[in-house]
Amino acid sequence: MSASKVLIGCWLALAVLSTATVLLGNAGSTLLLAGAVLAVALVKAWVITEGFMELRHAPLMWRLLLFGWPLAMAGGILLAMSF
């Protein structure tokens, strides 16, 4: 697939995921909904690193490092919200 098609696909995915985030955020304020919003944010982080930053061809360590940070932040937020 050409690079422009990949970028357009990433852009469309981010637009859909952003809309889902807004809809979930407006649905209420429970721990389950917060987890769903954070899950969508993690998918967005994956799309950005794999698609826009083109790390799908990079060594696994770089990919794990760049996805580990949003994963750690989401875990920390859920942990803080559960108390």
Query: What pTM does this model have?
Result: 0.87
**H/E/C letters for each residue in the chain?**
CCHHHHHHHHHHHHHHHHHHHHHHHHCCCCHHHHHHHHHHHHHHHHHHHHHHCCHHHCCHHHHHHHHHHHHHHHHHHHHHHHC
Position 75 pLDDT exceeds 90: yes
Position 1 pLDDT exceeds 90: no
* Domain interval for residue 36: 3-82
Q: What percent of the chain has pLDDT over 90?
A: 73
Number of domain units in the chain: 1
Question: First-to-last CA distance in the chain?
Answer: 46
